[in-house]
Every structure is written in structure tokens, then in C-alpha cells.
Amino acid sequence: MNCTVCGNLLIYDRTVFHCSCGVFVHAYCWNEHVLQAHRPPFEIGKVNLDDEFKATESRREGQASRVQIPAGQALGEEAPLSE
């Protein structure tokens, strides 16, 4: 079985995340999967010395430019869910 994000083999007895959307990913690929596939709204910014957050960039739903397609799956096909 391969990681949906990077395509590399999921190694036996290592931590693997099984997402609610049905894919399996390495622990270190989890953040990339969530940002690509589920596209949650977020802001990028800086915190000043007064602990105030100042947004420099904002990403809202529908603004993501990359879509993740699981390895070996053609565009338009649904991913089979594993139990």
C-alpha cells in the first residue's frame, strides 16, 4: 500500500494516518494531505511582541489552486473506501 500524498510505500509497523475521506498517508505527509484535499480556511501572518496576530495572507474556501488525486486513480473516479 502506498501513501496518497507522496506515493511512497507505507512501511510495516510505522505510524500511518487513515483519513475520514478513506486515504492512508504517512504521519509526515498528513499536513500536506489536509491542506490539499480538504482545504480548510486559514491565515498566514506574524505575531508581534504584544502577542497580537497580524495577517499577511488569507486563504478561504475555494481559493486553493492544487487538487490532490490519489496515486493510481484517474480523474473523475471515486476512491474506494477501506474498512
Q: What is the pLDDT of residues 18-46, one digit of tens each?
A: 999 999 999 999 999 998 899 878 788 88
Separation CA 66–CA 22 (nearest Å) = 19
CB atoms within 10 A of CB 41: 11
The pLDDT, as a whole number, for residue 79 is: 52
Q: How many distinct structural domains can be found in the chain?
A: 1
Q: Which residue has the higher pLDDT, 46 or 69?
A: 46
Q: Are 24 and 18 in contact (CB under 8 A)?
A: yes
Q: Which residue has the cell 480548510?
A: 40
The pLDDT, as a whole number, for residue 69 is: 52
Separation CA 21–CA 37 (nearest Å) = 9
For the cut 60, the answer to whether the pLDDT of residue 64 exceeds it is: no
Q: Residue 79 domain-assigned?
A: no
- Which domain range does residue 23 map to? 1-72
The pLDDT, as a whole number, for residue 42 is: 76
Q: Residue 81 domain-assigned?
A: no
Q: Residue 33 domain-assigned?
A: yes
The pLDDT, as a whole number, for residue 31 is: 92
Q: Which residue has the higher pLDDT, 16 or 62?
A: 16
Q: Residue 82 domain-assigned?
A: no
The pLDDT, as a whole number, for residue 44 is: 82
Task: Find the angle CA(51)-CA(53)-CA(57) to the nearest 5 degrees.
Answer: 160
Separation CA 79–CA 4 (nearest Å) = 11
